[in-house]
Every structure is written in C-alpha cells, then in structure tokens.
Amino acid sequence: MSKKRVKTFVVIGTILTLASAGIYLAYLSSTQITADKQFLENYYSLVDSTTAVTENYHKEIEKWEKEQYDDPKLVGITNSFLSEYDHLVDRASSIRPPQKYQEALDLYLKSLTSERSSYAVFRDFVETGDPILNETSIDLLSNATKYELQSFNLINSLR
C-alpha cells in the first residue's frame, strides 16, 4: 500500500473517530440534560407538595389559636400531618439525583426531617403545655427553613 493511501486511511479513520466521539459526547450531554431535567421536575414537585402540606397544617394551627379546636383535636390533626411528612420524607429519599444535585437533595431532606420533628415536638407542647417544647419546636422549624434555603440556593447555583 502506498504512503498516500495510508495517509488517506489515517485521515478517514481520524475523521470517523472524531465523529463517533462527537456523537457519543452529544449522547452523554443529552442524557445528562434529561437526568437533570427529570431530577429538577421531581425536586420541584416535592417542594410544591411540601409547601401545600405545610400551608394546610398552619391553617389548622390557626384554628387552634382562635380556639376553634381544643388541644386533643389539634394533637390528632398533628398526628395525621406527621404521617404526611413521613410520606414526603420517603418520597425525597427515593429520588436518585445526578451527583451534582446530591447535596441539594440531602439538604432538602434535612429540612423535611427537621420540620417533621418540629411538629412532633409542637404536638408534645400542645399535650403538656411545657414552654421549653414550644421553644424547641421553633428552633427545629428555624433549622428546617435554613436547610431549605441552602438547598434552594445550591440548586439555583447549579442550574
């Protein structure tokens, strides 16, 4: 085989290799974009669900504060909302994010568990009237908000 023909095959081989690599990288990029999009859809759906549950629970607390509910009624309502938070925690735990979003999801999960713990302690406050439990509940809710904001900020910085 002549040197000219060998060079032609090398050039053609190089072009085919680069084209194949380009196609593969485009596929990987497309796959990553799809994975990111799916994660973000799941994440924001979880956030929307959590917001709805939180708003509904706070409406119930307002009724208790206006003395439309007695303590035992609010304890029962709180217990039902705690099971909703358990469901949200399970849902968050089942999401498999792309690696770059793992920390953001972990922070959101910490937020959910802290919020759930806050309401469990608040329920105990309602049952006992112990003001220390109310303060603990407020601290846990404050932590939940802090973790949630950290998660949102991280998500926004990665998009």
From first to last of its 159 residues, the chain has per-residue pLDDT tens of 555 554 555 555 555 454 444 443 444 445 567 889 999 999 999 999 999 999 999 999 999 999 999 999 999 999 999 999 999 999 999 999 999 999 999 999 999 999 999 999 999 999 999 999 999 999 999 999 999 999 999 999 987
Q: Please indicate, yes or no, whether the overall pTM of this predicted structure exceeds 0.75.
A: yes
For the domain spanning 36-158, the CATH number is 1.20.120
Domain segments of the chain as ranges:
36-158
> What is the identity of the amino acid at 11?
V
